[in-house]
Structure 1
């Protein structure tokens, strides 16, 4: 399986492609990474160095990949942190060209814009671009609960309202919605959930909620779910594998007291997920 991954990159720590590429490789995916920024570290540190890539430079890299004849072998395109507002058009154009070369290819958009605790942390124009231009051409989107609310103009905070919001997002274009960081009243204390909604049904999985900040974990989640779903077209199976792998990564990182994800050390959780968390069908 081959995936073109258009995301940020950092030298120190793990975010964007620097979080997503290795887990995909470890489960047997050939990844073609294209960078939207090339930073010293993720922006959560409050200071960083390095360039936001010019959209034309990003487009040129993608064209070079196309010129090698790679588009016809791509099974999916994955996009994440965009860096600048001009990247949206580059991604949309790349997806169209990939799908012309291989109509079976999927496009998965991780609509990175922020979270409930930090608010939006991207350039001001990007959330609207994601909602109005990028999400409508996606087959899969992987928003957290906060991002899903922005995309749909709703406040998803229960299972029912999150399902409704996912359906509203699906009406925008994507068939498959993975909602991460689902927090709802009435769930057992110390837990967090993920929900997958497709035209075939809806499923939820619950895991322990570890008391830690984990920059890059959403990028790993989007990468693994996209990979598993692209391979099997089975949302429940992809949800189970992704939840198990990401929890294993976070638990190992938390147990070590590490400030950055132990991405390499936790690799067995990607390759051989324990599948310890039950996936419940909602409809």
Structure 2
């Protein structure tokens, strides 16, 4: 399996491609990473060095890969943080190019927009681009609950609300969804839910809530869910596998007291998770 992964990158730590690429490789996937930004570290540290690339830079790299004659062997495109709508257009151009050569290729869009407590944290124009162009073009999307609310225009407080919001967003185009960091009135205070939906059916995995605040987990679980779904074409299987791996990764990170997720030290969690959770239809 070959995946073109177009998203942000940091030299130190694990967010964006620095979080998504290695788990996919550990699962035996050949990954072709293209970075939309390259920073020294995550911006949450308060200071960083580096730069945001533009659309033509992304298109130039895709062209270089195409010149190798391998784009027809690309099985999927994964996108995450987009520094601008210009970069988003370049990503959708790459998706169209891959699909023209391989109609079976899947596009998974992690619609990075914001999060609970932080609000919208991407540049102006990016949220609208996600809702109006990127999400409709995707086969699979992996929003968190805040992003689901933004995309659907609803405020989700119950599981039924989440299911209604998913249906609204699926009407835009994506047939498969994973919603992360879900907390509704039915979610126990010591737990967090993951919800997947496909073909009119919805499944839930509930895991214990961990006491840590790290970046990059969403990038990792999007990549894991994408790979497991692409291989199995089963949303509940992909949900269970991705949930097990991300919980094990975060549990190991919590135990170590690390500010960065232990992508390398806990790599066995990607192939042989230490905890398992059942995907229950809801």
| Global fold match (TM > 0.5) | yes
Are 1:169 and 1:177, in contact at CA under 8 Å, matched by a contact in 2?
A: no
TM-aligned CA deviation for residue 217 of structure 1: 0.2
Alpha-carbon displacement from aligned partner over 1:241-268 (angstroms, at most 9, x marks no partner)? 0000000000000000011011101111
Contact persistence 2:195–2:205 (CA under 8 A)? yes
Q: CA RMSD in A?
A: 0.9
Q: Which residue of 1 aligns with 2:67?
A: 67
Residues 207-255 of structure 1, C-alpha deviations (whole Å, 9 max, x = no match): 0110111200000000000010011101111000000000000000000
Secondary structure of the corresponding residue to residue 25 of structure 2: helix
Say whether residues 1:254 and 2:249 are aligned partners.
no
8 Å Cα contact 2:145-2:179 kept in structure 1: yes
Give, in angstroms, the shift of residue 275 of structure 1. Answer: 5.5
Corresponding residue of 1:53: 53
Partner SS state of residue 40, structure 2 = strand
Cα deviation digits, residues 124-144 of structure 1 (max 9, x gap): 110000000111010000000
Misfit runs of 4+, over 3 Å: none
Residues in 1 aligned to 2:240 and 2:6: alpha-carbon distance in whole angstroms: 25
* Pairing of 1:1-283 with structure 2 (within 5 A): 1-199=1-199, 201-274=201-274, 276-282=276-282
1:39-79 CA-partner distances (Å, limit 9, x unpaired): 01111112211010121111100111111112111111000
In structure 2, what is the Cα distance between the partners aligned to 1:248 and 1:256? Answer: 12
Deviates more, 1:181-190 or 1:36-45: 181-190
Unaligned runs of at least 5 residues, structure 1? none
Moved more, 38-47 or 204-213: 38-47
CA gap 1:203/1:275 in 2 versus in 1, 3 angstroms: farther
Contact kept in structure 1, 2:58 and 2:91, CA below 8 Å: no
Instruction: Name the TM-score, length of structure 2 as normaliser.
Output: 0.98
**Counterpart Cα distance in 1 of 2:235 and 2:275:** 14
Tell me, yes or no, if the aligned pair for 2:40 and 2:48 is still in contact at 8 Å.
yes
Give me the TM-score of the superposition, normalised by structure 1. 0.98
How many angstroms apart in 2 are the aligned matches of 1:176 and 1:186? 23
Deviates more, 1:47-56 or 1:222-231: 47-56
CA distance in 1, matches of 2:69, 2:207: 42
SS in 1 for 2:215: coil
Q: Which runs of 5+ in 2 are unaligned?
A: none
Which whole-Å CA distance do the structure 1 matches of 2:274 and 2:178 have between them? 20
- Deviation digits for residues 188-217 of structure 1, max 9, x if unmatched? 221001000111521000001101112000
Aligned equivalents of 2:260, 2:229: Cα separation in 1:
27
Q: Distance in 1 between matches of 2:9 and 2:245?
A: 22
Give deviations 1:155-196, integer Å, cap 9, x for gaps: 112110101101111000000011000001132221001000
